[in-house]
Amino acid sequence: MIEHFSYIVTVFLMVAGLYVVIARGNLIKKLVGLSIFQTSVYLLYIAPGKLIGGTAPILAPQYGIYSNPLPHVLILTAIVVGIATLALGLALAVRIREVYGTIEEDEILALDHQVEAAQEPRGEQREEKGA
């Protein structure tokens, strides 16, 4: 069980992040949850790369054992991808806030339904004007 401790922590963080993404209606909070979900995946990759007695993978004559560099490379890429997604998501949230006046998912849905309900008569009016 002890050997798998790091995995347990990872799993907990991941699931908590996932929960926040799905359960919360606030657009920005969803994004925070998403980034926690993504961050916890880093541990899944990095933790197994560690070797007892190993050092960081920067080669020097006095060390013999190095931790595995490949996961580090992958996760560097993943971090960058994560932040790019976050930035884009925030930009979307800001735009949504500007046009809807809210960043709560439920309120946005409600506004959309209003528009759809109102569309029918308005469409006809426009048609008449066009003719």
Residues in region 20-59 near other proteins by CB under 8 A: 20-39, 41-52, 54-59
Q: Does 14 bind other proteins (CB under 8 A)?
A: yes
Find all residues with CB under 8 Å of 66, minimum gap 6, and list them.
Answer: 51, 54, 55, 56, 57, 59
Least separation in angstroms between residue 62's CB and other proteins is 12
Among 62, 117, 125, 131, binds other proteins (CB under 8 A): 131
| Rounded Cα distance, 99 and 59, in Å | 54
| Rounded Cα distance, 19 and 34, in Å | 9
Find all residues with CB under 8 Å of 55, minimum gap 6, and list them.
Answer: 63, 65, 66, 67
Q: Does 127 bind other proteins (CB under 8 A)?
A: yes
Q: Does 119 bind other proteins (CB under 8 A)?
A: yes
Q: Does 130 bind other proteins (CB under 8 A)?
A: yes
Least separation in angstroms between residue 36's CB and other proteins is 6
Name the phi and psi angles at 65, rounded to 5. Answer: -110, 130
Within 13 Å and on the Cβ side, how many CA atoms surround 4? 4
Q: Does 118 bind other proteins (CB under 8 A)?
A: no
Number of residues that bind other proteins (CB under 8 A): 106
Q: Does 94 bind other proteins (CB under 8 A)?
A: yes
Least separation in angstroms between residue 10's CB and other proteins is 8
